[in-house]
Structure 1
Amino acid sequence: MSVDSSRWRGSSSAQGRSSSLPFRGGRRGTYPSQRRTQMVSQIAARPPSPPLGQLLATLSDVDLTDPSDLYENSAKISSCKDVASYNWLNEQEPTILVPGKPPVWAPPPTTTKLKEDDGNYFRDPNAARYSAHPIEPAVQAIYASQPDFPTTSIDLFACGSTLGNLLRFVRKVDKSFRILVEAVGDTVFFVRRENSPTELIPGVTGFGHTFPEAYTTWEAEVKRSVSHQRIIRYELGGLDCIVRFEGDGYHKDLISRGSEVGQRVDPPKADTSKDTLASALFNSAIDDHLPTRDKPLNVIHGGQKIPRAAVFDLKTRSIRKKDQDTLGEELPRLWLAQLSNFILAYHTSGIFEEIQIRDVHHDVEDWERENKDTIRRFAVLLRKIVAFARSTTDRKIEVRSSEVNVLELREQTGDARQTLPAVVEARWIKGNPDGSNASSDECHGPDLRTSAEPEDANDSIDWDEGSEKDYTACSMEHCGYCGHCSY
């Protein structure tokens, strides 16, 4: 394999080991009739869609032009900063560990044929773990990290999944989705809406779980973790945005390229019986240890702050797909989450013989520069949704896409809950008690720069389909939910 040293940091031969991490990948190569039967039964058992509220307005491509050109920087992400991070713990009550820590890249010394993924996985693991208020853990992680965070300055609070869906709409990609939108003070929150918090992805196949189990590991201070979530802040199209996404792992050797690593914080010791839960996968709907419904969120301190410069995104593919431009397909998502490290692992029947570890900040820069018109229209769309939500009487709407180039803005109805519990909402609206404008930590990572920015500016984010990394790989070619299949 030829390697461009200016773009690639290296490659690794296939190997195998055990850890626990919810990743995605490849495609099952055996028992097609069994897979079809399982997929049909899962689709048949899919819960019904929530009822639709009254249609208030529609948006199409012709509405996404800003003739006033008020936002010179609307075609790029700027002023990116790290805000907070946290790990989900596999406990009986919903529990997050702040700042947590991603699993470390730790390839094993020998080549091993991996087992294929086998299990049931949630469409939205965040909602499955905390269905009452799926976005609240990110807010609580911010408060735990920065008690004086300037909440009143934020225009938009979203996850990678919701932003990714809206960006695909602008790009005219045919994918249905629903998003609950609510204005809390001056901030408009975007929350993905599935048919049920525990709805499953049908037909999950490949090695998207078993590969990261073999090549990454949770370190001692975060051993009970099942997912690492990261929260960043940046400006886009005149909006001050917060975005949550999942970090797949980190490279120890890249820590020096970012800010100084934070001091390790050990969480309270858990019962031995709870430690056995560390091997459970975050996305398993049947085998995973789900928290009891309607329990309050527990926030504990532990882990270690890891700079974004060291964090990577990961994909697995069959060697038969090596000619496909997998990176090109992932660039919009990497841009949304401002990630610069990408691992692409190719397998032959479960044997991973080629693993590409890539620094992609130049690729993300190029994508941003080549898609300025798309990004401008995306920014206009975000501004319109934010303004519309703020203007409605109850400050709540639902955004729905069911066909190309038609985005519906509807009243919320059905089982939609408040975005935040009352106490958390009141604190967010009030902002800093002393009125200060505390700033979040600068995002450090292989910078994604534009010619108009100084060289230490950052430019890149992650959209899930996951933290929002929506979280696993599936066989439905254009599922749009896992964030890691080739959609």
Structure 2
Amino acid sequence: MSASNQNISNDRGHSSYRGRGRGNRNNYGGTWKLTVDDSMPLTTEDLPKGGILAELEVAKLVEAATEEQFEAEKYRKEDYELVASYNWCEKAGKPGIIVPGLAARWTPPSLPAWLNPDSGIFYIDQNAYRWPTSPLEPALRALFTLHPTFDLNPIDIVTDRNNLRKLFRFVCGNQKFMHEFKFYVEVINRTVLVTRWEKRAANVVAGGEFRGFGHTFEKEFTKYTKGLEGSTGHHRVAKYKFGGLNMMVRFTAEAFLGSKDMPSGGDTEATGIAQKSVKKQTSDSSPRTGQKSSPGRTRPHFTPGTGDVKQAPPSAPAHTSTTNARGSFAKPLPKAPLTDHTDLADIFAKSLKIEANNEPENPPHRLEIVLGGMMMPQERVLEMKTRAMNRTIDLTDQTPQLWFSNTSNLYVGYHQRGSFMNVDTEIMGVKGLQLWEDENQGNLRKLAALLRSIIQIARSAEGGRAQVACVGGKLRVHAIQDGEEAFGTLPMELRQRWDVQRAAKQSAQGGVGAAGKGI
């Protein structure tokens, strides 16, 4: 589906607008119309039609949890590993992804900088907008492009970070941030896939509406590296353990810091952690972020070029491939050579060339895959927000977003009626995220109990499909009615990957093996 104006009305339904800290006041000129619909309730049409399978009450879930499950250890992310990433791009009106892609680079202008308010089309859920039949499919295509034999059977749940944020708000019970929502679940073998749902996958900000400066701030303060200028968003996929669950989480990354923009210095221990995470990006080890920054203490300077850097050869165009929404790859994607350079972003700008595919145009139901970009360490990724000068950022709802993806850098642009005077940097580092983790053990325990319950109910649901909806402060799991549209269902070729990898594992073990230890 194209992201053009004429097609925006053909998308599915109406949706809440996901801002980047734009606030609820007109800080620009005082005459703009502000329409914020984050808290719009689900309509009768939005509500699940199937019967209620269960009503999930957090207090009861925690009480029912066994001591072995929830008392033995703290609720932390463990064995964090970035496994895939990709950029959305558009060529000749058709969507495609660049794997592993690269986020836009932080390239701030001189301050003060005057920016226009947001206007135009903005994505709420670009994956659903560009690939509405199966929004999780692009993430899995990117995963199998980089790791063709990746075994998903040990994974308990595959989800977007956005779904985790909504569930975390629910268990916290903070009415300020909690809104009505729903999502779909589908079970393949024992893996539960959670597909995000929004009333509208993209939003149009027209004249007379004021939505703040968040998107303009991102556009003017970042720049895609040469060869990726046509990108419309960067998405990453990480896997980690939490609460006894093997999780795979997709999230967006708005920008990355070049090596010259990274804070330098730091203690020996922090530097060792940073270098280890880059060197062992391709192994089964767990990359970790550097130490928390504070006045007089900064994070380590990274040694790039030693990680899982995949890029097209300097003298050749990027490799391309197409995948049918219900079929397999048209041709294999060869691995690009590893390189060792002093600055990943600089060499990328000089060497990577993504050229138009010379093959005939693909049918509209095919997702084009281009091999290009590089796996940037998560330590370099940053989240961007905006605030008016007279409003400080409330980290209550922002820190969980950073925690779920291990994003340790938060840049906040402060403006006065569109004039950006300064950009504050919140560099949390591994210690900052762990501090929040320690202070929120109670709510993280509730989240783990809730996720376990959703997984167990989904696995026992008829056909392995269900909907989860939060309405009126109540969270319920609903059955999928016969004949109801199967939103988010993966194509058969991808579904079969679970069985293929399970069979391969059993064969390697001499016929004895399973899909992996699950709950």
TM-score by length of 2: 0.69
Structure 1 residue 35: deviation in Å?
Answer: 1.4
C-alpha change, 1:23 and 1:107, in structure 2 (3 Å) is: farther
Indicate yes or no: 2:67 matched with 1:69.
yes
Alpha carbons of structure 1 residues 263 and 389: separation in structure 2 relative to 1, 3 Å: closer
1:60 counterpart residue number: 57
2:87 aligns to what? 87
Give the superposition deviation at 1:221: 2.8
Equivalent of 2:456, from 387, 406, 413?
Answer: 387
More displaced 10-residue stretch of structure 1: 56-65 or 174-183: 56-65
Q: Supply the distance in 2 between the matched residues of 1:32 and 1:50 (Cα, whole angstroms).
A: 37
- How many angstroms apart in 1 are the aligned matches of 2:463 and 2:506? 29
Deviation of the 1:425 alpha carbon: 0.9
2:417 alignment counterpart: 349
Alignment check: 8 A CA contact 1:331 1:363 kept: no
CA contact (8 A) 2:117 2:210 kept: no
Q: How many residues align?
A: 390
SS of 1:80's equivalent? Answer: strand
Partner of residue 331 from structure 1, selected from 390, 399, 418: 399
Matched-pair contact (CA < 8 Å) for 1:75–1:372: yes
1:24 alignment partner in structure 2: 20
Q: Are 1:228 and 2:226 counterparts?
A: no
Question: 1:266-305 to 2 correspondence within 5 Å?
Answer: 268=318, 295-305=365-375
Say whether the 8 Å CA contact 1:231–1:243 is kept in structure 2. yes
Distance, in Å, in 1 between the alignment partners of 2:480 and 2:363 is 23
What code does the residue aligned with 2:102 have? K
* 1:98 to 1:332, Cα distance in 2 relative to 1, 3 A: same
Instruction: Deviation per CA, 1:200-237: give whole Å up to 9, x if none.
Output: 68956111111111111000132221100010000011
For the pair shown, the structure with the greater C-alpha radius of gyration is: 2
Q: Per the alignment, do residues 95 and 64 of structure 1 end up closer, same or farther by CA in structure 2, a change over 3 Å counting? A: same
Contact 2:124 2:200 in 1 (8 A): no
Identity %: 28
Q: Evaluate the alpha carbon distance shift between residue 34 and residue 390 of structure 1 in structure 2; reply closer, same or farther with a 3 A threshold.
A: same
What's the CA shift for 1:77? 1.3
Aligned to 1:128: 129
Partner SS state of residue 68, structure 2? coil
Report the 3-state secondary structure (helix = DSSP H, G, I; strand = E; otherwise coil) of the residue aligned with 1:333.
helix
Structure 1, unmatched stretches of 5+, are 1-21, 271-290, 439-487
Name 1:401's counterpart in structure 2.
Answer: 470
Is the CA contact 2:119–2:205 (under 8 Å) kept in the aligned structure 1?
Answer: no
One-letter amino acid of the structure 1 residue matched with residue 27 of structure 2: G
Between the aligned partners of 2:362 and 2:129, the Cα distance in structure 1 is 10
Give the whole-Å Cα distance in 1 for the aligned partners of 2:480 and 2:56: 17
Shift of 1:416: 3.1
Aligned-partner residue type, residue 160 of structure 2: C
**Counterpart amino acid of residue 453 in structure 2:** K
CA distance in 2, matches of 1:392, 1:329: 32
State whether residues 311 and 371 of structure 2, in contact with CA within 8 Å, keep that contact through their aligned partners in structure 1: no
C-alpha separation between the residues in 2 aligned to 1:364 and 1:313?
14
Of 404, 411, 419, which residue of structure 1 is paired with 2:489? 419
Matches within 5 A, 1:65-464: 65=62, 66-71=64-69, 72-73=72-73, 75-91=75-91, 92-109=93-110, 111-173=112-174, 174-197=178-201, 205-253=211-259, 254=262, 258-259=277-278, 260-261=306-307, 262-265=309-312, 268=318, 295-322=365-392, 325-361=393-429, 362-404=431-473, 406-413=474-481, 414-431=484-501, 434-435=504-505
| 3-state SS, counterpart of residue 184 of structure 2 | strand
Give me the whole-angstrom Cα distance separating, in 1, the residues matched to 2:419 and 2:467: 44
3-state DSSP of counterpart to 2:452: helix
* Secondary structure at 1:194 match in 2: coil
- Give secondary structure in 1 for the equivalent of 2:118: coil
CA deviation after TM superposition for structure 1 residue 332, in Å? 1.3
Q: CA deviation at 1:418?
A: 5.0
**Taking structure 1 as reference, are residues 56 and 201 closer, same or farther at Cα in structure 2, changes over 3 Å only?**
farther
Contact kept, 8 Å, 1:47 with 1:195, in 2: the verdict is no
Amino acid of the structure 2 residue aligned with 1:379:
A
Give the whole-Å Cα distance in 1 for the aligned partners of 2:503 and 2:369. 22
- Whole-angstrom distance in 2 between the partners of 1:348 and 1:436: 62
Q: Summarize the Cα distance change of 1:147–1:387 in structure 2 as closer, same or farther, 3 Å threshold.
A: same
Larger deviation, residues 121-130 vs 239-248: 121-130
Counterpart AA for 1:298: E
Q: CA deviation at 1:347?
A: 0.7
Query: Is the alpha carbon distance of 1:179 and 1:313 closer, same or farther for their aligned partners in structure 2, counting shifts above 3 Å?
Result: same
SS, match of residue 311 in structure 2: coil
Give RMSD over aligned pairs: 3.1
Q: Contact 1:96 / 1:298 at 8 angstroms: preserved in 2?
A: yes
CA contact (8 A) 1:152 1:430 kept: no
1:222 partner amino acid: L
- In 2, Cα distance between equivalents of 1:55 and 1:29: 44
Which secondary structure does the structure 2 equivalent of 1:139 belong to?
Answer: helix
Q: CA deviation at 1:196?
A: 4.9
Rounded to whole Å, the distance in 2 between the matches of 1:33 and 1:407 is 39
Render the CA deviation track for 1:277-310: whole Å, top value 9, x for unaligned: xxxxxxxxxxxxxx99962222220111111011
Kindly provide the amino acid, as one letter, of the partner of residue 61 in structure 2: L
The Cα offsets for residues 353-392 of structure 1, whole Å up to 9 and x where unpaired, read as 1211232123321111011111111001101110111112
Equivalent residues of 2:151, 2:501 under 8 A apart: yes
